[in-house]
Structure 1
Amino acid sequence: MATATPSNTSYGSVRLTHLAALDVKGEDAEKFLQGQASAQVGLADGRFAPLTCFCTPKGRMLANAQLLRLDEGHFRLLLSNTLLDSLANHLKKFAAFYRAELTALPGITIVGASDNAPALADQLGLTLPQQVGTHTTSGQASALRYPGDIPRWLFCCEGPIEGINDDDDALAGWQLEDIRSGLAWLTDAQQDHFLPQMLNWEALGGISFKKGCYTGQEVVARAHFRGQVKKRLMRLSVETASLPDVGASVVNGDDKAVGEVVVSAFNNQGSVELLAVMNTKVAEEMTPLFLAGAPASLLPLPYAIERVDPEQLAVSINA
């Protein structure tokens, strides 16, 4: 466990060092991605940026990402920096059969901003998008509206940006807003471990059940239509002075593991908030929960655990 000071969700702008970008370009880029991603790739129209994921043939997540179309034949995936190389290497095996080129961008500048987002947008020549899940692009930069109780945006720029906060507490503040939004980015520590539904990905509009085949689609669809998902992403709080490791066990009163931590961050009350993949019976049984001996409490998520079709999201955004 790592010890840290409590974070505050109020920040100007912060470098999002936990994220990275993977570009997919070429005449067949859309066709190629359509056969690999859980998203209906055509919905990425230069405004709507659907969530998506990439799976093994057994339906386990290799990475989840947000998909932006920057230009005709030019897509960008935003994902955990720990999965950038492995996803690129995985997809290159299939891209060889298409007129599509993958380029990992580990050095790209990715910034999160809240109260000073308008000034940053002006600096980059961007108009701020106002609907969650939409983006704008201008030259070599883009702005993506993120979910959260406080308005916030992600900026992606191929050049340096001056005056960006590199403080760990500011980054933790951004991640805390992700946690409160019920949004978890898979990392290498749990790659090839979860079905997409275990991260509530269909409740966030990250799975199209209306598109054709993609790698792992049959398993993902069967789990959905047969109701076979017995683990779900849940939000918890723990009174502890240390951040739990990724994969740390949440246990019940009988010391039986009922969940595992995916991401955690300090809040400004001195406790930890986290997202963990939990046995669905936990919410039904109202059993006491513990993490490393400290009592843990379930907190509400800001969305219902039900299917949200990205096709419908696209219609509502463009209405």
Structure 2
Amino acid sequence: MTATQHYSDFKTTTFVDLPALKKGFVTPLSSFGMMAFSGTDALSFLHRQLTNDLEHLSVNAARLAGYCTPQGRLLATFLIWKSADHILLQLPQDILPGLQKRLKMYVLRDKVNIAEASELAQLGFGGQAAPEALTPWFTDLPSQAYAKVDNEHGSIIRVSDAFGAPRYLWIMPTEKLATIWPALNPKLTAFSDNTWKLAEIDAGIPHITTGTQEKFVAQMVNFELIGGVSFKKGCYPGQEIVARMQHRGKTPRRMLAARIPFAGDVAAGTEVFANDDPNQACGMIVNAEQIETDRIACLVSLRYPMPEGITVHLGSATGAALQFTPLPYPLEDNALS
């Protein structure tokens, strides 16, 4: 069963109602999948492949990490946590099959099993009413970002806040959805998972998708600023490139948040152009979602810093102008972790 089939019976709305979103929402994460790693060498294998330190990952925590080409370009970004029997990696469903196949190629003699965790379902929660709505199942919710609580109802992870309110990811056996969903509906507005993607944009969390694989080094999407890279661990594919950029103390591109007055879809990987050099792209859309009928919220990787007075446009130098908004964290040029 695919991730989409898990949630096909549950009614949601795709219309983004910002007041309702801030009040409280629940969304089935139908476009996010999970890979499950098991076996005696699973942890050491992933530690050697990914950008973050997994050897010190607690069972009570989750962690961001990336997977790079040998040239340091991101093939994927993940949220990672441990269960009783597996290490689980959440990522966009569209790149999961290819990543699973690629990682299996590098298992070699390691005792590692890699499978899609299709027996598990994911619900995302946000807004001021979310904590109270979750208390029938989780009396003690995680109090800080990337803390995790496990009980008989599954695992709940607090992720980065968005729209001024806490957010939670609940992972549970698929068969529990049928009983949990009706109990949530009176308390929270049910949105489709474009709302979760929109909340990730508000939190400044990038997701690599098909259109942006191999386009960015980690620092170009602020990945080290949000805890997705360890500079104290050993080697992984692309480590030399990522470390060199960090220790140079200068990142040629950074990810910014913006709104675009545009009434259509904006694909990840769409180029943007500055008015001072209209013939050459100055950056690329990382993620984008509709926030209002005629407005798009996005994360965009741009040459950094941009000179004052420069305007940036979608698709061409005459396209819709990006209106930049603050990120929820500072852009530090040399934040070692």
- Residue 39 of structure 2 is matched in structure 1 by 26
**Greater relative CO (CA pairs within 8 A, separation 6+):** 1
Say yes or no: does 1:78 pair with 2:111.
no
- Write the distance in 2 (CA, Å) between the matches of 1:139 and 1:177: 28
Partner of 1:154: 169
Give the superposition deviation at 1:300: 1.2
Out of 284, 291, 299, the residue aligned to residue 325 of structure 2 is 299
2:149 — aligned with what?
Answer: 136
Deviation at 1:179, TM superposition (A): 0.8
- Decide whether the 8 Å contact of 1:55 with 1:215 is kept in 2: yes
C-alpha contact (below 8 Å) 2:268/2:286 kept by paired residues: yes
Task: Give the Å deviation of 1:101.
Answer: 1.0
The reply on whether 1:122 has 2:136 as its aligned counterpart is: yes
Residues 1:74 and 1:107: Cα distance change in structure 2 (over 3 Å): closer
Contact residue 126 and residue 137 of structure 1 kept, 8 A: no
Q: 2:310 aligns with which of 287, 295, 300?
A: 287
Unaligned runs of at least 5 residues, structure 1: 311-319
How many Å apart are 1:5 and its aligned residue? 5.0
1:13 aligns with 2:39: no
The one-letter code matched in structure 1 to 2:167 is R
CA distance in structure 1 between the aligned counterparts of 2:115 and 2:131, rounded to whole angstroms:
28
Residue 272 (str. 1) matches residue 296 (str. 2): yes
Change beyond 3 A, Cα 1:262–1:198: same
Confirm whether residue 263 of structure 1 aligns to residue 276 of structure 2.
Answer: no
What do the CA deviations read for 1:119-152 (whole angstroms, capped 9, x no partner)?
44534x5742111111112246211101122111
- Mapped to 1, the partners of 2:294 and 2:271 lie a distance apart of 21
- 2:93 aligned with 1:93: no
- Equivalence for 2:121: 109
Residue of structure 2 equivalent to 1:234: 256
The percent identity for this pair of structures is 27
How many pairs does the alignment contain? 303
- Structure 2: runs of 5 or more not aligned: 1-13
8 Å CA contact retained: 1:12, 1:113: yes
1:67 to 2:80 alignment: yes
Deviation at 1:107, TM superposition (A): 5.7
CA shift digits 1:194-235 (9 cap, x unpaired): 111111100001100001111211111111112453111111
TM-score (normalised: structure 2): 0.82
CA distance in 2, matches of 1:278, 1:154: 30
Could you tell me which amino acid in structure 2 is paired with residue 260 of structure 1?
A: M
TM-score by length of structure 1 reads: 0.86
